[in-house]
Amino acid sequence: MLTWLLLVLATVAFVLILLTMYWCYVNYNYFFKMKNLPGPSPLPILGNALYFKELDGFLNTLLKLKSKYGSPFKITIGFQYPWVIISDSKFMTFFLSSNKYITKSQDYNFFRSWLGDGLLTSTGKQWKIHRKILTPAFHFDILEKFLDVFEKNVEIMLNRWRNEIGTTNFDVFPFVRLLTLDIICETALRTEINAQIDNNSDYVRSVQLLNRILMDRALSLFLWHDSIYMHSDHSIRERSAVKIINSLTDSVIKRRKEEIENQWDSHVEDSGDERKLAFLDLLLQAEADGERLSDISIRDEVNTFMFEGHDTTASAISFSLYNISQHPEVQKKIVEELNTISNKGNNSGHFTYTDLQEMKYLEAVIKETLRMYPPVPLFGRLATEDILYEDKVIPKDTNITLFAFGLLRDPELFPEPEKFLPERFLGNKVKANNPFTYVPFSAGPRNCIGKDQRQNHK
């Protein structure tokens, strides 16, 4: 018995030694090149993983590390390539303003089973072509035509709230998430899925399930590894959900292609009401290198639009409502602004797109909410070459995390960052309005293409 125990212990020790040697081999080159970058000392094999054992405090842990080591700093977790965390305005400007650093970091590969090579995950020539194709779909003239879609679906949500108010406390986020899902499906897919009325449909449940699975994987060190993840229950449920989502998206694409062909055959033009739903049509009519986009490319972009648009927008709206509820004086100012605009309008009971542009205080409230609670608190890039910044080197293949949450809570840029102060976005306040300082939608050539539609939602 003792012999077997010693044999097991010796085997475990040998494996640990091999793992440690491999970890040192993988990381030595990076640590040597990044010797001028500060950061917490890593443990063999684990790296700095123990700092993030409480995942609920992930962002606060990064804030504490930023406070201790400044920006940029480096961390490493397990056998992954090291991360460089950036959260200062100067480095952010240098990095985001460049057309060279647009490749997403390796963890974005988690999304490929659902989003394929859509705008979020693609890079290089394909990303540039698709970005150019999609940009017109988010022009103000097109977004303006969506107001009735927004208003109709908001009224459905408000009616559901009226059934809840006065009975018990309730979380607004699930309601708002179904609202944004309805709006995006109707504006992007020309399809009414009625998620707010039937939130148990296969499509709605699959979208929500995929969001949870992807979040779980992003926060689980073990599930980062494909060899482990592919044998997990998460992977099985993900494949099933993707199949359901793709089935609906494919059927919508097929139906719309047939409608367009029939219109050409009968020489019938779309009515003005139909033409406002331009996103899917734009993809169907677009060309890349002289050829129409494939159905798979179109599906990838539609799925990307769904993923990026509905959950992040719902988060921003929910936090805005929370902030307003906690500050009665802010709520009063918003109501006064709305009444002023309404009284000088057409008295139809409906706000126009021009009216929205006059809601400066409400816009400041939304911007301050996005500063405090950015829907995407960090985003990643991959160094495709060695990057020299001042006296620091970031080696090729390093994952670079742009810590928007940390930048947006920098007291030098935003005094009293823990306080909700919409006034900081009123008037010409250069720091608050600098595109590389205020980054809830990222900045530069790879910023969020749908940021204006998100503003319209809110």
Strands 83-86 and 399-402: parallel
The partner residues of 43 in beta bridges, in order of sequence, read 47
| Whole-angstrom distance, CA of residue 302 vs CA of residue 271 | 23
10 Å CB burial of residue 131 (0-12, 13-18, 19+) is middle
Residue 10 in any domain: the answer is: no
Helix ranges, 45-116 (H): 58-69, 89-96, 112-115
Please name the helix (run of DSSP H) or strand (run of DSSP E) that holds residue 75, with its range, or none: strand 73-75
Whether the link from the prior residue into 72 is cis, omega within 30° of 0, is yes
Question: Per residue of the chain (458 residues), what is the pLDDT tens digit?
Answer: 667 666 666 676 656 666 666 656 666 666 667 788 899 988 877 778 888 776 667 888 999 999 999 999 999 877 666 889 999 999 999 988 888 888 888 888 889 999 999 999 998 888 888 888 888 777 767 777 788 899 999 999 999 999 888 777 889 999 999 999 999 988 888 888 999 998 888 998 999 899 889 888 877 777 877 888 888 999 999 999 999 999 999 999 998 888 887 776 554 455 445 455 458 888 888 766 667 788 999 999 999 988 888 889 999 999 999 999 999 999 999 999 999 998 876 656 788 888 888 999 999 999 999 999 999 999 999 998 999 888 888 888 889 999 999 999 999 999 999 999 999 999 766 565 677 889 888 888 888 876 655 454 44
| Whole-angstrom distance, CA of residue 376 vs CA of residue 315 | 10
Residue 13 in any domain: the answer is: no
For residue 313, give Cα distances in angstroms to 111, 173, 438.
19, 10, 17
pLDDT in tens, 178-226: 999 999 988 888 888 999 998 888 998 999 899 889 888 877 777 877 8
Q: With beta carbons less than 8 A apart as the criterion, state whether 127 and 300 touch.
A: no
Residue 29's nearest CA partner among 401, 388, 386, 402 is 386
**Which range of residues forms the domain containing residue 147?**
65-457
CATH number at residue 144: 1.10.630.10
Q: With beta carbons less than 8 A apart as the criterion, state whether 35 and 27 touch.
A: no
Tallying the residues shown for the chain, one arrives at 458
| Whole-angstrom distance, CA of residue 231 vs CA of residue 221 | 15
| Whole-angstrom distance, CA of residue 364 vs CA of residue 1 | 72
| Whole-angstrom distance, CA of residue 285 vs CA of residue 126 | 17
Q: With beta carbons less than 8 A apart as the criterion, state whether 142 and 276 touch.
A: yes
Residue 402 φ then ψ, to 5°? -90, 105
Residue 82 in any domain: the answer is: yes
Helix ranges, 139-285 (H): 140-143, 147-164, 173-188, 202-219, 226-229, 233-266, 272-275, 278-285
- Sign of the CA dihedral 388, 392, 396, 399? negative
| Whole-angstrom distance, CA of residue 339 vs CA of residue 266 | 48
The partner residues of 440 in beta bridges, in order of sequence, read 442
The partner residues of 442 in beta bridges, in order of sequence, read 440
Residue 4 in any domain: the answer is: no
Q: With beta carbons less than 8 A apart as the criterion, state whether 365 and 338 touch.
A: no
Residue 291 in any domain: the answer is: yes
| Whole-angstrom distance, CA of residue 91 vs CA of residue 401 | 12
| Whole-angstrom distance, CA of residue 277 vs CA of residue 76 | 45
Which tokens is 274 given?
A: 């139909």
Q: With beta carbons less than 8 A apart as the criterion, state whether 426 and 366 touch.
A: no
Residue 201 in any domain: the answer is: yes
Residue 113 in any domain: the answer is: yes
Which tokens is 337 given?
A: 């602004």
The domain total for the chain is 1
448 is in an annotated binding site: yes
Residue 39's nearest CA partner among 447, 392, 389 is 392
Residue 449 in any domain: the answer is: yes
Residue 317's nearest CA partner among 375, 387, 364 is 375
SS3 402: strand
Residues sharing a CB contact under 8 Å with residue 67, sequence separation 6 or more, in sequence order:
none
